[in-house]
Structure 1
Amino acid sequence: MILVTGGLGFIGSHTVRALLDLGEDCVVVQRRTTELPAVLAGAKVAVERADIADREALLAIGDRHRITGIVHLAGSYPWPAVPATAVEASRQAVGGLLNVVQAAQDWGVRRLGVASTIGVYFGGPDAGGPEGGGPHAGGPLREDARLSLTAPVSIPTFKKVGELLGGFLADATGLDIVNYRISGTWGPLGHPDPFFAAPALVHAAARGTAPDLSHLVEPAFAGDGLDLNYVKDTGRAIALLQLADRLNHRTYNVGSGRATTNAQLAEAIRKVVPGATVDLPDGGGAHHAVLDISRLRQDTGYRAEYDTERAAADYVAWLRAGNRS
């Protein structure tokens, strides 16, 4: 049985769906709700309501279920960072990861997978290089690239900390701890992402309105591009990594392996919703961050099932069926 923290959330629920489809039993851990999302409707999933920051509550789950693997997707980092609570929020984030590793050790699990992000490839404003640093100017982002010790926002900061800490604990304990560097992910159950426009554009097309992009940290342009992966593919890739008989690496990029620009996304959306007002101003395109997913393909046989057009059609249909996100 695979335990998935954050298993009723966005990427978590699709990962659980993929694990179930591959024949695995799952128990999900969620802090606030125990209601199954629509993608898991009718599924036989054990649900435990617990906060991973509560070590005793987390470890007690192992008394009720025989856990053989863990996929740790729960978001425990402080976003956005608030000065008054930054110290305690950091304590909760790091403590939650340590509790999950403790559970993996106590339960003798086969593999612990931990969510990281494409953002670890980017450095802070003083790191040098394009967009504040990072090894991505010369081509696709590879897992063996040297990373900056700084990061522009809290999410990649804590993911870098998690990768370093996880590596140390893997060596010290002998646990098989694997990092998933997840690209920009969009699709059913998603939310308005602060870093890319795709979800907002699809929501606007499904509603027949102009897109509201006020939540973005930077203005969006037609030429802006990113490695965008449809969430059903992201969930399946994570499931394949968790279940692989043997992995040759500790860190894997999880993405599409290609850049999708806002202009390309708008074109795909208009094929599904003719006349949708999803065009963005000209500009952007200076650089597109793309993940090299060779390791993922070689070690799991993963292939994406959704190109941009199919993904847009699937997401629009999902929203028009009455789902709110």
Structure 2
Amino acid sequence: MKILVTGGLGFIGSHTVVELQNEGFDVVVIDNLSNSSEEVLKGIVTITGKMPLFEQLDLREKKSVEDFFKRHNDINGVIHFAASKAVGESVGNPLLYYENNIASLIFLLQELSKQDKANFIFSSSCTVYGQAEEMPITEDAPVQQPMSPYGNTKKIGEEIINDVAKATNINAILLRYFNPIGSHPSAEIGELPIGVPQNLVPFITQTGFGLREELAVFGDDYPTPDGTCIRDYIHVVDLAKAHVIALQRLLNKKNTEKVETFNLGTGTGSSVLEVIRSFEKVSGKKLPYKIVPRREGDITEAYANTDKANNILGWKAQSSLDEAMESAWKWEQKIRS
């Protein structure tokens, strides 16, 4: 079966391509290389022994998307990662996020709705819950007005998919994941942000390696045990495997609704300071950091109730925070060597 992975050379996308190929799928990757590198293909081949088909393409270009599906009219499923993803950047440049994350989704769905086999996995986010009133967060928690344009693009994306599925033959699974970290245990692929990292863990590892002077911890006055924000950090390989399981559910017609939604996390919340301590433990290094004012768009805490994914998908996160941090550090050391 041929599976299209958009943003397939990005952080989560590349790990999902690996897991798909390990399960015997033929993979076609679309990526515009705006936040990734063609070098990632080498890592995928080293791990799996197989080169996915790659097309450099910008999904914001409607004609390019149309032409792609004319060339590839035998796609069995689509896993859609291609999107801008930094909360802070989205606050400063909202139009970039609305164009990149919404237009590309619409053009994909327009073409997919013409296909006989219209199975769609959407890379959503726990940001759609905003600051949820109860922890851990279940899928039944109200979707709130997000606190950032990035979060809003995920909320709007989910709404678009639900509307389109009602009117077409598209079946979809929305995967709302929490905070992906780590890298493949081989250290052949991992998180490689271009420029200054927007996410916590690559900033930690770059600081640990000496590329950054110190880590900024945004606020220590939140109503949490140590005053710093709490998130649910999930190993990217665990996350990638969930995408394959969700895809197989659609391909085998096991879905009970046109659009299903699952949280993907560990079910455990960790504070920023706990993540720093985990890094120090696995690396043996003392991390320089300073407390700075809160960052706009950040919520206090978010961690998942994963019962639905555990029971219905038969998926469960396997790796600990320390294991994820250790793999991230191993990756950082390899790419700097």
TM interval, shorter chain, is: 0.7 to 0.9
CA contact (8 A) 2:165 2:171 kept: yes
Bigger share in strand = 2
1:209-262 CA-to-partner distances (Å, cap 9, x unmatched) read: 75333xx7x336854321111222222212221122323461111222211223
Give the drift of 1:206.
Answer: 3.7
Task: Give matches, 1:214-253, under 5 Å.
Answer: 218-219=218-219, 223-244=228-249, 245=252, 246-248=254-256, 250-253=260-263
**2: CA distance, partners of 1:232 / 1:176:** 25
Which residue, out of 52, 65, 75, partners 1:67?
75
Residues 69-78 or 156-165, more deviating:
69-78
Residues 12-21 or 314-323, more deviating:
314-323
> Which residue of structure 1 aligns with residue 52 of structure 2?
45
SS in 2 for 1:201: helix
> Which residue of structure 1 aligns with residue 7 of structure 2?
6
TM-score normalised according to structure 2 size? 0.79
TM-score normalised according to structure 1 size? 0.82
**1: CA distance, partners of 2:206 / 2:97:** 32
The verdict on how the C-alpha distance between 1:82 and 1:318 changes in structure 2, with shifts beyond 3 A counting, is closer
Task: Give matches, 1:127-166, under 5 Å.
Answer: 134=131, 136-148=132-144, 150-166=145-161
The verdict on how the C-alpha distance between 1:41 and 1:189 changes in structure 2, with shifts beyond 3 A counting, is farther
CA contact (8 A) 1:76 1:96 kept: no
Give the drift of 1:265.
Answer: 2.2
1:21-66 CA-to-partner distances (Å, cap 9, x unmatched) read: 2221110101137714154144320001111122232132233332
Matching residue's letter, 2:20: L
CA contact (8 A) 1:206 1:320 kept: yes
**2: CA distance, partners of 1:278 / 1:228:** 21
Unpaired segments ≥5 residues, structure 1: 123-133
Matching residue's letter, 2:168: T
Task: Give matches, 1:50-199, under 5 Å.
Answer: 50-65=57-72, 66-75=74-83, 79-80=89-90, 86=95, 90-91=98-99, 93-122=101-130, 134=131, 136-148=132-144, 150-187=145-182, 188-191=190-193, 194=198, 197-199=200-202
Number of residues of Structure 1 aligned to a counterpart in Structure 2: 304
**1: CA distance, partners of 2:78 / 2:336:** 29
**1: CA distance, partners of 2:84 / 2:197:** 17
Unpaired segments ≥5 residues, structure 2: 183-189
CA contact (8 A) 2:278 2:321 kept: yes
Task: Give matches, 1:306-325, under 5 Å.
Answer: 306-323=319-336
SS in 2 for 1:51: coil
Give the drift of 1:295.
Answer: 1.8
CA contact (8 A) 2:6 2:13 kept: yes
> Which residue of structure 2 aligns with residue 131 of structure 1?
none
CA contact (8 A) 1:204 1:278 kept: yes
Structure 1 residue runs of 4+, over 6 Å off?
none
Matching residue's letter, 1:253: N
CA contact (8 A) 1:72 1:115 kept: yes
**2: CA distance, partners of 1:212 / 1:232:** 25
> Which residue of structure 2 aligns with residue 125 of structure 1?
none
CA-based RMSD of the aligned residues comes to 3.0
CA contact (8 A) 2:219 2:291 kept: no
SS in 1 for 2:160: helix
Q: Which has the higher contact order (CA 8 A, sep 6+)?
A: 2
The verdict on how the C-alpha distance between 1:89 and 1:156 changes in structure 2, with shifts beyond 3 A counting, is closer
SS in 1 for 2:59: coil
Does the alignment pair 1:201 with 2:213? Answer: no
